[in-house]
């Protein structure tokens, strides 16, 4: 491929663009992970990350992708043959259930349509049937990256409580943490899974388990094999800011800076920025005349928007043309949505002008590919953004 001038627009739903201050921190010389300087860094990031999960309890950091944190959540709390209840919201909930089965768990999956979030009523009804409490955990995805659907975690917690069931609640926040409001403690979550490469604005390579007292108690009797993922050894040495094995030192340096940036902006402002970008994107998409994959407005994701193309038109061809002509990457459709949808990521380090640039690239691609649409969607997005300015801006008259 010949050189393409200008910056590449990375608009997949993660990994996201890494800000220059974070890149600079990662590029600093590696420090001794057993020395006092690292101990200070470790204590800072282990305390700082708790504020993003909104928890007072420990958060464990692994040198791994989010998939590793999935496995850690399961193997620290469950035993071979345990039954767990999961809900199919899309590709990533499906992958998590496949992992559970590989680990020797009995994963019961309530089917979904990939257009709606977790049905809390169905969870409650199934748990109410489980009189012997064979189900040991309920596992859900907060923000389904394949569909742009955000499930209501608090409603699932209420459903478990209404059923009077002791099951643990495990939640994946890989594409929502740091982008969509999430409350580990307040919502009564037992294990929250996270990753570094999306709302936290880092490259891939760090993952997280936020844990409750109930989850920690379960880990003391859980029998699934674990060594690398074991919480106990990690928590013991984390108290001093260190890790039981070589950590991702430079990524932790970047994480410390990223946490500072999120706190400086203020989490409420971060969430409002994502909400605004998402609404501008949806208004643009609707003006074009396309359907949004998420069918329930109350479950719209603020991290990404999955767009359904009309029958007979290839989403993959559209993405390829946009990449070749305009140097912009969009997310592909996964599983049954392959070639049917494209996904616009609007999470991490971005602002309003970047949002309109992305939508302009998509609208130009639609013209190039001859896909029928109503032109002017970008104008609709710009009008919305101009009238809903972010913090520090002067609203339009």
CA distance 275 to 346: 9
The residues, any chain, with a CB within 8 Å of residue 270's CB and separated by 6 or more, are: 178, 179, 199, 262
Q: How far apart are CA 366 and CA 289, in angstroms?
A: 12
Do the annotations mark residue 343 as ligand-binding?
A: yes
Rounded (to 5) percent helix, strand, coil in the chain: 40, 15, 45
- Going by C-beta distance under 8 Å and a sequence separation of 6 or more, which residues neighbour residue 395? 387, 388, 389
How many residues would you count in the chain?
397
Round to whole Å and give the CA distance between 342 and 360: 15
Q: Do 321 and 168 touch, CB atoms closer than 8 A?
A: no
* Long-range interactions of 314-317: CB distance < 8 A, separation 24+: 314/339, 315/339, 315/340, 315/341, 315/342, 317/369
Distance of CA 376 to the CA centre of its chain: 31
- The 10 Å Cβ neighbour count of residue 256 is 18
Instruction: Please give the Cα distance from 225 to 230 (Å, whole number).
Output: 9
Closest CA to 17 of 172, 203, 181, 196: 203
- Residue 227: both structure tokens together: 């060594």
Q: Which residues are annotated as a binding site?
A: 343
Q: Which residues are annotated as a binding site for substrate?
A: 343
């Amino acid at each position: 491929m010949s050189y393409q001038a200008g910056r590449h627009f990375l608009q997949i739903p993660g990994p996201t663009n890494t800000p220059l201050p974070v890149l600079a921190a990662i590029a600093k010389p590696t420090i001794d992970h057993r020395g006092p300087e690292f101990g200070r860094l470790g204590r800072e990031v282990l305390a700082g990350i708790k504020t993003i999960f909104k928890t007072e309890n420990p958060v464990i950091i692994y040198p791994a992708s989010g998939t590793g944190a999935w496995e850690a959540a399961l193997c620290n709390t469950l035993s071979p043959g345990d039954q767990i209840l999961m809900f199919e919201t899309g590709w990533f909930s499906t992958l998590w259930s496949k992992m559970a089965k590989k680990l020797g768990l009995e994963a019961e999956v309530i089917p979904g349509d990939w257009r709606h979030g977790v049905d809390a009523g169905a969870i409650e009804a199934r748990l109410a049937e489980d009189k012997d409490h064979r189900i040991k955990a309920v596992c859900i995805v907060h923000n389904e990256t394949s569909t742009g659907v955000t499930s209501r975690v608090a409603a699932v917690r209420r459903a478990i409580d209404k059923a009077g069931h002791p099951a643990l609640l495990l939640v994946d926040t890989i594409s929502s943490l740091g982008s969509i409001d999430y409350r580990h403690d307040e919502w009564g979550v037992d294990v929250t899974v996270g990753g570094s490469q999306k709302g936290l604005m880092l490259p891939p390579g760090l993952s997280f388990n936020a844990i409750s007292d109930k989850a920690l108690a379960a880990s003391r009797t859980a029998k699934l094999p674990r060594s690398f993922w074991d919480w106990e050894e990690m928590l013991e040495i984390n108290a001093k800011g260190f890790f039981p094995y070589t950590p991702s030192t430079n990524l932790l340096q970047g994480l410390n800076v990223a946490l500072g940036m999120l706190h400086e902006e203020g989490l409420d402002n971060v969430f409002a920025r994502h909400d605004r970008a998402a609404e501008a994107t949806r208004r643009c998409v609707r003006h074009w005349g396309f359907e949004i994959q998420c069918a329930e407005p109350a479950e719209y994701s603020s991290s990404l928007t999955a767009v359904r193309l009309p029958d007979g038109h290839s989403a993959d061809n559209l993405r390829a043309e946009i990449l070749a002509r305009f140097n912009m990457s969009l997310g592909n459709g996964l599983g049954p949505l392959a070639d049917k949808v494209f996904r616009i990521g609007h999470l991490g380090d971005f602002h309003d002008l970047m949002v309109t640039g992305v939508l302009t690239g998509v609208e130009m691609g639609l013209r190039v590919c001859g896909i029928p649409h109503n032109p002017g969607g970008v104008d609709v997005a710009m009008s919305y953004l101009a009238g809903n300015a972010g913090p520090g801006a002067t609203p339009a008259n």
